[in-house]
Amino acid sequence: MKNENELKEIVRQKYGAIANQTKLQNETSCCGASGCCNEVDYTVFSEDYTQLSGYNSDADLGLGCGIPTQFVDIKKGDTVIDLGSGAGNDCFVARALVGESGKVIGIDMTIAMLEKAKQNTEKLGFENVTFVQGDIENMPIENETADVVISNCVLNLVPNKLNVFKEIFRVLKKGGQFCISDVVIKGELPEKLQQDAEMYAGCVSGASQMKDYIDFIKQTGFSNIFIKKQKEVVIPKEIMLNYLSENELSEFQKAGTGIFSITVSAQKV
């Protein structure tokens, strides 16, 4: 596996390319901008946002693995921070909840995503939604800024997840909560998947064991930790066969290893 900086650069490049595609293009080209179907389908985890207040189709690239705003108490006037905000999908849904008196801050490290998010904000005319460039392991945000932190299928792309949870704890106000949708693993991935950077950028080989993920949250000092939703994600066979032989895939399936999307919440007390 590559080092942390190399992995971040892979993610930056992949999602920079995907930013220039529509949700439909991301779904039909399998690997976003490359247009080939021998890599990872980045939309395989996505949920349907279309009925949610604040939904904007231009901001929906189909890259999430849950709907974190549904499982946390966001009030009018709150300040919400979205980690890995992409084109702004979750930010605009959060904005519908905080209203004009609240504030939403999206953080992303990919310039192309930030540009798309800012264009969407300008079209919508929102003055209380802002997007900033930054690494979520070292957020450009002051202590105790947020009432709520959300994130959607992003922490699995970060090499040092414990650092992110420490940063979430720092930027949350006392009594504040986070709600994160993410990808986790139960069991061991085959070594070929663990070592493949493409599968890392596709949210699979970068995912933590579920137990370790929850332990990171506990270590950081959060309380009232709840898994709000959990579902198994099945990676299409034709994609898995790009990394494993038929025999290796059969062994993987027999081993009972599971790839899951979870939505987890916790509180800073």
| Residue ranges, the chain, pLDDT below 50 | 28-38, 40, 42, 197-198, 200-203
**Domains, the chain, with CATH or none:** 4-267 (3.40.50.150)
Amino acid at 21: Q
Q: Which pLDDT value is given to residue 207?
A: 77
**Which residues make beta-bridge pairs with 152?**
181
Q: Which pLDDT value is given to residue 213?
A: 95
Other beta carbons within 10 angstroms of residue 3's beta carbon come to 9
Q: Which pLDDT value is given to residue 208?
A: 84
